[in-house]
């Protein structure tokens, strides 16, 4: 299983250091764990039992872009993965699918694997628009990429209405939507990508979610901040 821990904007430096010191011993070989700390703490997360992920990247190459972090800089900090298209960034920073597409291209140029987050809002689900929304989003986010480049991307299905809310879709809904995403990519490019689920995962629902036949891993926010909680899940 692939497990991505998204720390979002949490922890002081001291807390981040204590977390890093402890987490390594909780990871077992069966799982591939990717930790995405706040970007300022990337240099603190250089352990060997996990991969390092960034929560964001600039859509530009190195140069005059105040406040941005380039793919080249991430690479120099041993970052192997990077979240793109997270709903919080789409909402708070007005990141469009075209911007996400530029970010993906930057990452691939430096051999960093993008973890592309996609998902519908509650209104879109209620209006039966989930599939068309995902299809349109994927088409733009992956525009102009070769089949080989697309092969380096991981997709995270994160319904916007499930992130941080405690509302988790049923296994049937997740399985159907992941199946749809996989089929879409197969039909377009004959590629088979790993697709994760994310949104309100906790130690109680995790074992149920693990039964979904076509899920390749999980993207975890809140629960991943607490080592005691995440330890139960990694076991
Ligand atoms: P959550 O966050 O697990 O706290 O719902 C998931 C995410 O935002 O990726």
Amino acid 31: pLDDT: 85
Beta pairing class for 51-54 and 154-157:
unpaired
Report how far residue 100's alpha carbon sits from residue 137's, in angstroms, rounded to the nearest whole number.
10
Return the pLDDT at 170. 97
Q: For the chain, 235 residues long, give each residue's pLDDT as a single digit of tens.
A: 899 999 999 999 999 999 999 998 888 878 899 999 999 999 999 999 999 999 999 999 999 999 999 999 999 999 999 999 999 999 999 999 999 999 999 999 999 999 999 999 999 999 999 999 999 999 999 999 999 999 999 999 999 999 999 999 999 999 999 999 999 999 999 999 999 999 999 999 999 999 999 999 999 999 999 999 999 888 7
* Ligand 1 pocket, residue 199 CB under 6 Å: yes
Q: Is the CB of 158 under 6 A from ligand 1?
A: yes
Give the other-Cβ count within 10 Å of 97's Cβ: 17
Which segments of 62-210 are extended strands (E)?
A: 81-84, 113-118, 154-157, 195-198
User: For position 234, what pLDDT does the model report?
Assistant: 84
**Do 192 and 226 form a contact (C-beta atoms < 8 A)?**
no
Q: What's the gap in Å between 140 CA and the centre of ligand 1?
A: 24
Residue of 209, 219, 226 with the most ligand 1 atoms within 8 Å of its CB, for mutation? 219
Q: What is the pLDDT of residue 24?
A: 86
Q: Is the Cβ atom of 5 under 6 angstroms away from ligand 1?
A: no
Residue 126: its pLDDT value, please? 95
């Amino acid at each position: 299983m692939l497990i991505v821990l998204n720390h979002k904007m949490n922890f002081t430096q001291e807390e981040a250091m204590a977390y890093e010191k402890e987490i390594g011993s909780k990871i077992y070989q069966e799982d591939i764990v990717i930790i995405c700390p706040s970007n300022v703490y990337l240099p603190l997360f250089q352990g060997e039992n996990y991969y390092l992920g960034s929560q964001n990247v600039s859509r530009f190459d190195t140069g005059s872009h105040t406040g941005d972090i380039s793919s080249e800089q991430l690479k120099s900090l041993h970052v192997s993965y990077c979240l793109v298209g997270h709903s919080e960034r789409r909402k708070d920073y007005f990141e469009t699918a075209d911007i996400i597409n530029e970010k993906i291209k930057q990452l691939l140029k430096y051999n960093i694997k993008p973890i592309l987050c996609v998902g519908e809002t509650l209104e879109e689900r209620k209006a039966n628009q989930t599939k068309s929304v995902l299809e349109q989003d994927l088409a733009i986010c992956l525009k102009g990429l070769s089949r080989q480049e697309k092969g380096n991307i991981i997709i995270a299905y994160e319904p916007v209405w499930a992130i941080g809310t405690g509302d988790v879709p049923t296994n049937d809904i997740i399985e159907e939507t992941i199946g749809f995403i996989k089929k879409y990519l197969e039909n377009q490019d004959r590629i088979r990508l790993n697709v994760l689920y994310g949104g309100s995962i906790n130690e109680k629902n995790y074992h149920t979610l693990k039964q979904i036949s076509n899920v390749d891993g999980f993207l975890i926010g809140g629960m991943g901040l607490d080592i005691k909680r995440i330890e139960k899940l990694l076991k």
